[in-house]
């Protein structure tokens, strides 16, 4: 049986600021992110299995990504916890805003690395994360490939 890649796409809105950056992104701003999650595995061949012919049920993949990424990052603001933005984060949190203090500078590159680790930890043993594509704007994105890591 062949290995097959399947992809599920997700959309979410997230704000961030890049502390110490020398461009406009040092200011708090947001993006309409598009995340493409591709996994690889062999389709189920057991004729008695309810998911016969599937690598993974798209609904099962959706549940993983929604719980660990979309539901957490959607309409949140992400700051690097090791920057002075923590003062702003505290004020926003005190006012009822959803703020994430990350262990990293919240660039698309670092976010996609974080997302890969989160998804890999939840996938069934027979399924592997093949790649992620995190699109920040219509023309800018970061990609993560298992083969590169």
Whichever domain contains 16, its CATH number is 3.30.479.10
Binding residues for Zn(2+): 16, 29, 31
Per-residue confidence (pLDDT) for residue 111, from 0 to 100? 98
- Return the active site residues: 25, 75, 136
Q: Give me 101's structure tokens.
A: 């203090």
Which residues lie closer than 8 Å to 91 by C-beta, 6 or more apart? none
Q: Give me 21's structure tokens.
A: 């950056």
23-51 per-position pLDDT tens digit: 999 999 999 999 999 999 999 999 999 99
DSSP single-letter state for residue 98: -
Q: Is pLDDT of 1 > 80?
A: no
R_g of the chain, CA atoms, integer Å:
17
Q: Is pLDDT of 84 > 90?
A: no
pTM recorded for the entire structure = 0.94
Average pLDDT on 92-96 reads: 94
Q: Is pLDDT of 86 > 90?
A: no
Binding residues: 16, 29, 31
State the pairing for strand pair 76-80/99-102: parallel
Q: Which structural domain, as residue segments, surrounds residue 8?
A: 4-145
What total number of domains does the chain contain?
1
């Amino acid at each position: 049986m062949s290995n097959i890649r399947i992809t599920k796409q997700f959309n979410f809105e997230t704000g961030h600021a890049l502390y110490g950056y020398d461009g406009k992104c040092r200011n708090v701003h947001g993006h309409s992110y598009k995340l493409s999650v591709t996994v690889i595995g062999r389709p189920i061949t057991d004729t008695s299995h309810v998911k016969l012919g599937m690598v993974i049920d798209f609904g099962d993949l959706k549940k993983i990504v929604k719980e660990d990424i979309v539901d957490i990052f959607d309409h949140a603001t992400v700051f690097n916890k090791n920057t002075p933005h923590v003062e702003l984060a505290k004020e926003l949190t005190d006012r009822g805003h959803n703020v994430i203090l990350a262990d990293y500078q919240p660039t698309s590159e670092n976010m996609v690395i974080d997302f890969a680790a989160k998804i890999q930890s939840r996938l069934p043993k027979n399924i592997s994360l093949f790649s992620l594509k995190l699109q920040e704007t219509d023309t800018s994105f970061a990609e993560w490939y298992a083969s590169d890591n």
